[in-house]
């Protein structure tokens, strides 16, 4: 058991309290920086003390939330933006209370040391390497064919690629199965990778993994979509970490930081790579790249906080929702033709704040868990909701390390949880739950059933 966890979490909490005090005193930029340093210091020190790889569900959520919650307040006080700093500071205070909730919850998360040779889940629930590989091959091609057919049968590749940024909107509104298919492909590749790490990859499986991964990355880049690529890269990295307890933090930074820059600036050149290819993209980056590209608050990393910025005045007028968005989530998760027309909180937000012409091409800003907590229960609710959330994530993390490490199917589930935490921060709870259900949970059940249907024979 990590004895340092309560101490580190308490330090994180005190850092958030100090940030709140500085914000009240009018030192907004310092408050955001101190809160960020406290959160990142906790992540670094807690990972070091656990000595079990660098990818953990609870710590990943703290890291993702820190990036999304603090980047806009920091940049808003560094470079001028068309925003009211008073509302930005109110949003910052809400996010600091969320950090307090995370820190308090982490005090109760006691990660127990796990042996590298831990056998994990009972063998009666194990799937053989052959079973998982064959099922994964099938699902990879099902997902790939589904994604291609979805585009060809609806908007067409030429229309999609020529539509620029609106092409992504066409994707979501008219050809939704393409993105689901790409998620299925990514999960299949993560499963094959996990089998190889645990049981040793046969040459055929290794060759398929390499070729399919290269093709998948090229195809997704061609379509100009980030999320499936992020799911695959983050999933592979997470699977490697939980199985091998590597790499070290310093080694991970060499990989993660360049990937973060590439993915966070991808919006600037996604249309070029989709329509003109890699060579033209390199020329475009060389000729147009600037320091402004590094201001991540102006792209999708700043979008969650902007929903909070927009909703604060609305909540002031309307009052709190008292949990209505959480309670309506199970109904919203049902297919649209039977859910009675229930709209997600992010859908309501989009209708309230954006021009119908923007909405008509699929434009939206997503949502933010901090915004949803404030929308429902106010400032104190943010602390409580995030406290309960991090305790749940901490328990999931502990269970995964104790039971799934030598089970490729379990490792695949764990590895996909990590990137979906980043997606969760861009959504409200109902939209997140529905997305996970239809693009991941159902397909994990299908993968398991397919694998169980394959006979347990000697490895080919």
Tokens found for residue 260: 């973060």
> Which positions ≥6 away from 361 have C-beta within 8 Å?
166, 169, 170
* CA-based nearest residue to 195, from 426, 418, 411, 458: 411
Question: Could you tell me if 39 and 155 lie in one domain?
Answer: no
Surface-to-core class of residue 190, CB atoms within 10 Å of its CB (0-12 exposed, 13-18 middle, 19+ buried): buried
Question: Could you tell me if 285 and 410 lie in one domain?
Answer: yes
Question: Could you tell me if 161 and 96 lie in one domain?
Answer: no
Question: Could you tell me if 140 and 273 lie in one domain?
Answer: yes
The region of weakest confidence among 129-138, 207-216, 289-298 is 289-298
Which position has the higher pLDDT, 346 or 102?
A: 102
User: What distance in Å separates the CA atoms of residue 299 and residue 265, rounded to the nearest whole number?
Assistant: 8
Ramachandran area for residue 277 (φ above 0: left; ψ -120 to 50: alpha; else beta) = left
Note the pLDDT tens digit of each residue in 13-40. Answer: 999 999 999 999 999 999 999 999 999 9
Question: Could you tell me if 53 and 149 lie in one domain?
Answer: no
Question: Could you tell me if 107 and 131 lie in one domain?
Answer: no
Tokens found for residue 316: 């002031």
User: What distance in Å separates the CA atoms of residue 326 and residue 315, rounded to the nearest whole number?
Assistant: 16
**Domain final position from 359, 388, 417:** 388
User: What distance in Å separates the CA atoms of residue 64 and residue 260, rounded to the nearest whole number?
Assistant: 12
Question: Could you tell me if 138 and 106 lie in one domain?
Answer: no
Determine, yes or no, domain membership for 350: no
Residue 57 domain boundaries: 5-112+384-388
Which position has the higher pLDDT, 435 or 256?
A: 435
Q: Is the pLDDT of residue 186 over 60?
A: yes
* CA-based nearest residue to 224, from 176, 161, 145: 161
Contact predicate 46/5, CB 8 Å: yes
The region of weakest confidence among 81-90, 158-167, 224-233, 250-259 is 158-167
Q: What per-residue confidence (pLDDT) applies to 169? A: 53
Tokens found for residue 352: 């309230």
The region of weakest confidence among 61-65, 78-82, 314-318 is 78-82
Note the pLDDT tens digit of each residue in 377-399. Answer: 999 999 999 999 999 999 999 99
| Residue written as token pair 């030192």 | 27
Determine, yes or no, domain membership for 84: yes
Determine, yes or no, domain membership for 98: yes
Q: Write out the DSSP string of 323-376.
A: THHHHTHHHHTS-TTTTTT---HHHHHHHHHS-HHHHHTT------HHHHHHHH
Q: What per-residue confidence (pLDDT) applies to 164? A: 54
Tokens found for residue 57: 């569900």
Could you give the number of structural domains in the chain? 2
Determine, yes or no, domain membership for 94: yes
Question: Could you tell me if 131 and 60 lie in one domain?
Answer: no
The backbone torsions φ and ψ at residue 206, rounded to the nearest 5 degrees and listed phi first, read -65, -45
* CA-based nearest residue to 146, from 188, 207, 208: 188
Q: What per-residue confidence (pLDDT) applies to 245? A: 81
Question: Could you tell me if 278 and 412 lie in one domain?
Answer: yes
Tokens found for residue 114: 């796990």
List the helix and strand counts (H, then E) for the chain.
22, 0
Determine, yes or no, domain membership for 217: yes
Q: What per-residue confidence (pLDDT) applies to 40? A: 95
> Which positions ≥6 away from 213 have C-beta within 8 Å?
189, 232
Question: Could you tell me if 409 and 270 lie in one domain?
Answer: yes
Computed over its alpha carbons, how large is the radius of gyration of the chain?
Answer: 22
Q: What per-residue confidence (pLDDT) applies to 66? A: 96
Calculate mean pLDDT across residues 321-338. 89
Note the pLDDT tens digit of each residue in 363-380. Answer: 556 899 999 999 999 999
Calculate mean pLDDT across residues 202-207. 81
Determine, yes or no, domain membership for 56: yes
Q: What per-residue confidence (pLDDT) applies to 39? A: 97
Q: What per-residue confidence (pLDDT) applies to 364? A: 55
Q: Is the pLDDT of residue 357 over 60?
A: no
Determine, yes or no, domain membership for 151: yes
Determine, yes or no, domain membership for 332: no
Q: pLDDT band for position 175 (50/70/90)?
A: very low
> Which positions ≥6 away from 286 have C-beta within 8 Å?
none
Q: pLDDT band for position 225 (50/70/90)?
A: confident
Question: Could you tell me if 90 and 151 lie in one domain?
Answer: no
Tokens found for residue 78: 């560094």
User: What distance in Å separates the CA atoms of residue 39 and residue 239, rounded to the nearest whole number?
Assistant: 24
For 24-54, b/e burial (b = at least 16 CB within 10 A) is eeeebbebbbbbbebbbebbebbbebbebbb
| Residue written as token pair 């210091």 | 41
Mean pLDDT of the chain: 84
Q: What per-residue confidence (pLDDT) applies to 117? A: 45
For 264-299, b/e burial (b = at least 16 CB within 10 A) is bbbbbbbbbbbbeeeeebeebeeeeeeeebebbbbe
Question: Could you tell me if 108 and 160 lie in one domain?
Answer: no
Contact predicate 126/451, CB 8 Å: no
Which position has the higher pLDDT, 23 or 206?
A: 23
Note the pLDDT tens digit of each residue in 91-137. Answer: 999 999 999 999 999 999 888 766 544 445 545 557 888 889 999 99
Q: Write out the DSSP string of 290-322.
A: -GGGG-GGGSTTTHHHHHHHHHHHHHHHH---T
């Amino acid at each position: 058991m990590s004895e340092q966890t309560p101490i580190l979490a308490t330090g994180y909490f005190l850092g958030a309290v100090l940030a709140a005090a500085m914000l009240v005193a009018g030192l907004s930029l310092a408050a955001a920086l101190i809160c960020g340093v406290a959160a990142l210091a906790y992540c670094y020190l807690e990972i070091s003390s656990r000595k079990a790889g660098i990818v953990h569900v609870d710590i990943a959520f703290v890291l993702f939330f820190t990036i999304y919650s603090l980047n806009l307040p920091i940049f808003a006080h560094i470079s001028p933006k068309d925003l009211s700093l008073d509302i930005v500071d109110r949003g910052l205070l809400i996010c600091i209370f969320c950090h307090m909730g995370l820190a308090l919850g982490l005090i109760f998360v006691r990660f127990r040391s796990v042996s590298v040779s831990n056998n994990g889940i009972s063998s009666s629930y194990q799937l053989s390497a052959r079973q998982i590989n064959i099922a994964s091959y099938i699902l990879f091609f099902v997902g790939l064919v589904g994604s291609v057919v979805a585009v060809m049968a609806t908007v067409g590749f030429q229309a999609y690629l020529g539509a620029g940024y609106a092409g992504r909107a066409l994707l979501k509104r008219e050809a939704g199965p393409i993105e689901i298919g790409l998620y299925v492909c990514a999960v299949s590749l993560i499963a094959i990778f996990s089998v190889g790490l645990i049981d040793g990859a046969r040459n055929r499986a290794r060759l398929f993994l390499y070729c399919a991964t290269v093709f998948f990355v090229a195809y997704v880049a061609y379509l100009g979509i980030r999320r499936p690529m992020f799911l695959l890269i983050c999933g592979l990295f997470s699977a490697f970490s939980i199985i091998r307890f590597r790499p070290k933090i310093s080694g991970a930074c060499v990989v993660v930081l360049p990937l973060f820059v590439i993915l966070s600036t991808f919006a600037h050149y996604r249309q070029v790579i989709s329509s003109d290819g890699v060579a033209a993209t390199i020329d475009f980056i060389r000729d147009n790249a600037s320091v402004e590209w590094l201001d991540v608050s102006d792209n999708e990393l700043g979008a969650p906080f902007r929903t909070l910025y927009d909703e604060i005045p609305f909540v002031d007028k309307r009052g709190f929702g008292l949990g209505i968005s959480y309670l309506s989530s199970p109904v919203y998760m049902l297919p649209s033709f039977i859910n009675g027309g229930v709209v997600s909180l992010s859908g309501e937000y989009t209708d309230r704040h954006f021009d119908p012409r923007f909405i008509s091409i699929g434009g939206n800003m997503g949502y933010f868990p901090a915004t949803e907590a404030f929308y429902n229960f106010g400032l104190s609710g943010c602390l409580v909701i995030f406290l309960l959330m991090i305790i749940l994530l901490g328990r999931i993390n502990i269970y995964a390390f104790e039971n799934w490490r030598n089970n490729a199917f379990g490792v695949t589930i764990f590895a996909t949880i990590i990137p979906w935490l980043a997606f969760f921060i861009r959504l409200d709870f109902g939209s997140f739950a529905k997305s996970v259900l239809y693009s991941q949970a159902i397909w994990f059940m299908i993968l398991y059933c397919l694998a169980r249907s394959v006979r347990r024979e000697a490895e080919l």
